[in-house]
Structure 1
Amino acid sequence: MNAIPRRIVTGIKDGKSVIIEDQRVQNAVEHFPGLIISDVWNTQKTPASLDIETRIPNTGFPQTPKNGTYFRYVVVPPDKDLGVEWKENEPHPLMHQTPTLDYIIILSGELYLIMEEGETLLKPGDIVIQRGTNHAWSNRSDEPCIQLAVLIDADDQG
């Protein structure tokens, strides 16, 4: 399993800023071969509470709390390692939709963002603003892709 980065949590003690936690992320889960997800942090409401952490189980497809957020670290393996077979002109088997506004940053590797109509290749430094649309990810390279994602509960009523 890939090494998940450190998680550093700050807080206030005796009126001064302090580091409360400094360790490797402990809740990394491999949902499919090579697909590693760690839900690093979440909030349960907006505005967010600065002094409460509710640990949540990692899920393959996020379940962002109502009025809350998720902060995810995701390693997407090459499609061939994941065992995903996708035939052209058919929906991608991992196509999904979440009722969230997502800020996604590609840290390393490359990944295709697949929509119902069209796709684009993402490379390190690329940023995706995912607005509650049906989508899938496809890693057609030989190396894993690492992305960070912040998912924010959204009002899909427009």
Structure 2
Amino acid sequence: MNTIPRRIVTGIKNGKSTIIEDQQTENVVEHLPGLIISDIWNTQKMPAGLDLETRIPNTGFPQTPKNGTYFRYVVIPPDKDLGVEFKAGEPHPMMHQTQTLDYIVILSGKLHLIMEDGETLLQPGDIVIQRGTNHAWSNRSDEPCIQLAVLIDAEIQI
């Protein structure tokens, strides 16, 4: 399994800012072969509390807390390694919708963002603002794609 970058958490001790945790990320799960997800941090309310962390289960499809956030690191393997076949004119088999506003940054690799109407190729440095729409990710390359995502609970209006 890929090594997820270390996690550094700051806080206040004796009235001064300090590093309270500096270690490898522990919440890492390989949901499908090569699909590696680490839910790095979450908040349980807005405005966010800064005093503690509530550990969350690491799920393939996020379950963002009501009025909360998720910060996740995702490695998406090539479609062929997942056994995913996408046929033109049919919905992508990994199409899904989350009840969140997502800020996503592609760190490495290439990935197609597929919508019900259209798609686009994402490359390192690209930023996606995913606004609670039905979507899928398709890695048609030979290399994994790594993305960082912040998911914010949202009111979806359809």
Aligned to 1:147: 147
TM-score by length of 1: 0.98
Structure 1 residues 105-155: Cα deviation after superposition (integer angstroms, max 9, x where no partner): 000001000000100000000000000000000000000000000000011
Residue identity matched to 1:143: E
Cα RMSD over matched residues?
A: 0.8
Residue identity matched to 1:76: I
Structure 2 unmatched ranges of 5 or more: none
User: Where do 4+ consecutive residues of structure 1 move more than 3 Å?
Assistant: none
Residue identity matched to 1:59: T
Cα distance, 1:87 vs. partner? 1.3
Aligned to 1:133: 133
Residue identity matched to 1:146: I
TM-score by length of 2: 0.98
Residue identity matched to 2:77: P
Residue identity matched to 1:79: D
User: Are 2:37 and 1:37 aligned?
Assistant: yes
SS of corresponding position for 2:117: coil
Structure 1 unmatched ranges of 5 or more: none
Distance 2:32 2:157 in 1: 33
Distance 1:93 1:26 in 2: 30
Cα distance, 1:156 vs. partner? 1.6
SS of corresponding position for 1:36: strand
Distance 1:77 1:23 in 2: 25
User: Are 2:100 and 1:124 aligned?
Assistant: no
Between the two proteins, what is the percent identity of the paired residues?
A: 84
Aligned residue pairs total 158
Distance 2:75 2:11 in 1: 28
Distance 1:143 1:157 in 2: 36
